[in-house]
Structures are given as C-alpha cells and as structure tokens.
C-alpha cells in the first residue's frame, strides 16, 4: 500500500535534489557523510555517560535539598525558549567547538593538549592587537589578518610544547599546562600595562568594521550575543574532518596516534606527525580565541580567572569521541550547561556550580565507559602466546 507513494516521494526528493546548486549539494552530502561516519563510531557510550552525568547532578542537587527537575527545566528554558536564549547559548557553543576540535585533533595523534586554554588566550589577544593597532585597514584585509593572526598565535603556543615533545620527548601535558599559566599572566600584563585603554580594564576595542555580525541582527530578533562565528566554527569542524580523513598528513597523524611502531615501519615520519598535530590543534584553539574577540568581547579584557573554554574543550572532545561531529554535539551540550548556570541558581535556587559537577561527572563516565568497552574488546582480541 505504501509502495506507490513512497516511490513518488523518492522521485520528488530526487527532483528537489537536482534543483539545489552543486556547491550546496556537495556541502550537504559532506555533512551527512561526516555525521554518518561519526554515528558508526558508536554514539552509545557518550549518550549513556551524559545520562549518568545528569543523574549524578540530580543526586547532588537532592543532597542539598533542592529539586533537580526544577533545575533541569531551568536549563532547558534558558537554552531553548525563544531565539534570544538560543542565540545566547550559541555564543557559548562557538568557542567550545574550536577548543573541542583542538583537543580532539591532538588526541588523534595520541597527544593530550591540555593547553587549549592558553592557546585561546593568546589567540584572543593577538587578534585584538591586530584589530586595534591597524584599525584603518580595509576590513577585507584586516579581518582575515586578525583571524589568521589569532590562529597563528595559538599554533605557535601549541607548537612549542609540540616541538619539545617531538624532539626531546618531553611529555606535553606538563608543558601545555605551563604555557597556559604563562599565557594567562603574560596577556593580563599586556592588557593592564602597555596596551591598557583608559577607563577600561582592557585594551582598545577592535574596529567596528571587523566585528562579527550578531545573529540577532542577521535574523531580526532581540539582541543577543550569538554571532556569525558559529558558521565559521561549523566550517572548522568540516575542515578538521577533511584534514584528518582526506589528507595524507591526517592519515599519518592518525596512524601515528594508533600505532607509532607500525607507522614507522610504513615509512611515516612520526616526529613530524606529532609536531604537526600539536600545531594544527593550537591553530584551532587560537581561532576560537580570535572569534571570541571579534564576536563577543571586542576588547581584550583583563582576566580574573581562566576563561574555562579550553578546559571544557577537553570534556567536549572526550564526549565527542574525538570526532568533529561529536565535538559539535558535545559543544552544544556544554554550551547549554554553561549558559544555564545562572538560570539554575535563580530559578531553582541551586548553586550554579552544579553545572561544573555535572560536567565532571560526564567526563568521568566517558572515561569510565572506555574501561568497559576496553575490557570487552580485550577479551575478544587476546593474543596467542608463543613459547
């Protein structure tokens, strides 16, 4: 009974498909392929982890005598009710995509880039610096220059620990963390001393000409923080996928991450792969910082504490199983959590830091789930023992 209408539907869909311009078709099919690719790599684990994470959060809320349902409703409302809320959420999601991509990319080579935090900070500063130092350049030059400057700053910030790892074998965890602290103090000093703007705890602003358009302006709804950087972020996710799975460099990076020994046997220059992985990873993070400056902050502000995008990027990457599509989804989740913490406090009278606990619990369950899967996989692939 359904055969005929189904066939008609299929035909009309095909006709519709033909109507779409080729470039858009390619993008759409690429996006679909990426998502399917990710689906295949097992969506189950992170979903379970997220559920358990929220359960833990609920338990903690109950423990202090409050209502978890109220709190979770507050989260939902602050994210989804109305374009304004959604746009505000997008403002949090955007940098998380970048830092998530950064950490995921490095992880593909077996590297732990804990330094996304610092790389974002230097990206923020360098972009701002380029912006307020040469404000009179035409935006068609200044904008790409500022953005690339931020990405480059992140790449260098990550490249230094990368070089130390590739050449000297120094573990990147400690070095990237050190670079975080160095970035924090360095930029704070730059912002409060040589480049301080009068009357602000910040630098001069970037010129209006290169600030990113707000989504509220683009789509005509009440003013909110979300900006066009989100499109750049999504494009970055596609680029990340492309590099990892469509280039020889990405091939070498992934091979080195999985099995450096076999890669060497195959002639891959594993040191170079390690270094390039760190550099590209830092570029993503720096890009995130660049777009924060151009899209939200406009000035480079003195920081009281770490902006947290980098650290949350680690969680996003873990949840997203180090895959660009997963990173985007994970960024939405954590962005929503970051957006909602004020609402949780106001509407459910729960300390906003419960969000941090939920985040941490989710990470733990993702890591813990690895254990379960690992155990299962291990029994399947026991190696034959020889005399």
Partner 1 sequence: MQAQETPVIQMRRITKSFPGVVANDRIDLTVRRGEIHALLGENGAGKTTLMNILYGLYQPDEGDIYIRGRKVVIQGPGAAIELGIGMVHQHFMLVEPFTVAENLVLGKEPVRRGILDQKRAGEIVRELSQRYGLAVDPRAKIEDISVGMQQRVEILKALYRGAEILIMDEPTSVLTPQETTELIEVMRMLVRDGKTIIFITHKLKEVMEASDVVTVIRRGRVIDSLPTKDTTIDRLAALMVGRDVQMVVDKTEARPGRTVLDVRDLWVRDYRKTDAVKGISLQVRAGEIVGIAGVDGNGQKELVEAITGLSRAEKGSVILNGEDVTNKPPRRVTETGLAHIPQDRQKRGLVLDFDLRENLVLQSYYRHPFADKGILKPKEIDSYARRLIKAFDVRTPGPEISARSLSGGNQQKLIVAREIDRDPDLLIAAQPTRGLDVGAIEFVHRRLIRYRDSGKAVLLVSLELDEILALSDRILVIYEGRIVGELGAGEADEQKIGLLMAGIRHGEGGGGDVQKAGQTA
Partner 2 sequence: MIETTALAALIYYMLRNAAPLMLTAVGGTFTERTGVINIALEGIMTVGAFFAAAVTMLTNNAWLGVLASVVTGLIISYLHGLVCIRFKANQVVSGVAINILAAGLTSFLMKAIFGSGGQLIMGDAPRLPVWSLTKLILGIPGLGRLIQAVIPENWIRFFDESIGSQVPGVYIAFIIVIIAQIILFKTPLGLRIRAVGEHPRAADTLGVNVPQMRYIGVLCSGLLAGFAGSILSISPGASGFMVGMVAGRGFIALAAMIFGKWTPVGAMGACLLFGLSEAVRVSASVILRDLPWMQVIPSQLLALLPYIVTMLALAGFVGRSTPPAASGIPYESEQ
Candidates 2, 3, 248, 374: give the one binding partner 1 (CB under 8 A): 248
**Per-residue buried b or exposed e for 312-336, using 16+ beta carbons within 10 Å of the residue's own CB:** bbbbbbbbbbbbbbbbbbbbbbbbb
Map residue 214 onto helix, strand or coil: strand
Phi, psi at 102, each rounded to 5°? -60, -50
**Contact window for partner 1 (CB under 8 A) among 206-214, 263-271, 297-305, 325-333:** 263-271
Nearest CB to partner 1, comparing residues 168 and 384: 384
222 contact, one of partner 1, partner 2, none, CB 5-8 Å limit per kind: none
* Residue 380 to residues 45, 203, 229, 262, 374, Cα–Cα distance (Å): 19, 58, 45, 21, 10
* Residue 225 to residues 116, 118, 215, 318, Cα–Cα distance (Å): 23, 23, 8, 27
Place of tokens 């040469």: 134
Does 185 bind partner 1 (CB under 8 A)? Our answer is no
DSSP string across 164-183: IIIII---HHHHHHHHHHHH
Does 48 bind partner 2 (CB under 8 A)? Our answer is no
Q: How far is the CB of 104 from partner 1 (least distance, A)?
A: 16
Phi, psi at 169, each rounded to 5°? 75, 15
Does 112 bind partner 2 (CB under 8 A)? Our answer is yes
Q: Which tokens go with 159? A: 């490249």
Q: Which tokens go with 255? A: 């091979």
Candidates 112, 221, 251, 311: give the one binding partner 1 (CB under 8 A): 251
- Tell me the C-alpha distance between 32 and 109, whole Å: 25
Binding mask 197-236 for partner 2 (x = CB under 8 A): ----------------------------------------
- Tell me the C-alpha distance between 64 and 62, whole Å: 5
Does 273 bind partner 1 (CB under 8 A)? Our answer is no
State the number of binding residues for partner 2 (CB under 8 A). Answer: 48
Candidates 120, 314, 333, 343: give the one binding partner 2 (CB under 8 A): 314
Find the binding residues for partner 1 in span 187-246 (CB under 8 A): 245-246
Map residue 160 onto helix, strand or coil: helix
Nearest CB to partner 2, comparing residues 25 and 181: 181
Does 333 bind partner 2 (CB under 8 A)? Our answer is no
The site for partner 2 (CB under 8 A) is made up of: 60, 64, 112, 114, 164, 168-170, 173-175, 177-182, 185-186, 188-189, 192-193, 305-306, 311, 314-315, 318, 351-361, 363-364, 367-368, 370-371, 374-375
The site for partner 1 (CB under 8 A) is made up of: 245-249, 251, 254-255, 258-259, 261-267, 381-387
């Amino acid at each position: 009974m359904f055969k005929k209408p189904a066939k008609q539907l299929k035909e009309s869909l095909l006709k519709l498909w033909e109507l779409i311009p080729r470039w858009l078709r390619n993008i759409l099919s690429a996006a679909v392929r990426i998502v399917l690719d990710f689906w295949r790599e097992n969506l189950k684990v992170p979903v379970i982890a997220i559920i358990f994470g929220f359960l833990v959060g609920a338990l903690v809320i109950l423990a202090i005598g409050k209502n978890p349902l109220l709190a979770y409703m507050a989260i939902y409302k602050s994210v989804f009710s109305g374009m304004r809320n959604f746009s505000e959420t997008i403002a949090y999601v955007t940098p998380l995509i970048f830092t998530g991509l950064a950490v995921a990319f490095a992880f593909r080579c077996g590297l732990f880039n804990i330094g996304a935090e610092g790389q974002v900070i230097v990206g923020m500063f360098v972009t701002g610096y380029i912006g307020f130092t040469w404000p009179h350049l035409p935006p068609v030059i200044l904008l790409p220059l500022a953005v690339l400057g931020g990405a480059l700053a992140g790449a260098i910030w990550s490249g230094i620990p990368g070089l130390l790892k590739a050449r000297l074998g120094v573990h990147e965890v400690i070095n990237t963390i050190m670079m975080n602290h160095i970035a924090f103090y360095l930029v704070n000093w730059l912002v409060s001393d040589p480049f301080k703007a009068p009357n602000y705890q910040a630098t001069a602003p970037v010129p209006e000409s290169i600030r990113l358009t707000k989504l509220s302006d683009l789509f005509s709804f009440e003013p909110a923080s979300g900006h066009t950087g989100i499109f750049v972020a999504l494009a970055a996710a596609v680029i990340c996928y492309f590099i990892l799975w469509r280039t020889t460099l990405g091939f070498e990076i992934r091979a080195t991450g999985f099995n450096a020994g076999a890669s060497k046997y195959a002639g891959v220059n594993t040191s170079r792969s390690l270094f390039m992985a760190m550099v590209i990873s830092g570029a993503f993070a720096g890009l995130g910082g660049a777009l924060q400056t151009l899209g939200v902050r406009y000035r480079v502000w003195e920081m009281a504490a770490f902006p947290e995008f980098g650290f949350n990027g680690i969680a996003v990457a873990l949840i997203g199983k180090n895959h660009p599509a997963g990173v985007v989804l994970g960024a939405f989740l954590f962005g929503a959590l970051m957006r909602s913490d004020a609402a949780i406090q106001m509407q459910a009278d729960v300390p906003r830091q419960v969000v941090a606990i939920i985040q941490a619990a989710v990470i733990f369950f993702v890591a813990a789930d690895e254990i379960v899967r690992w155990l299962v996989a291990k029994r399947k692939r026991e190696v034959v023992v020889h005399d």
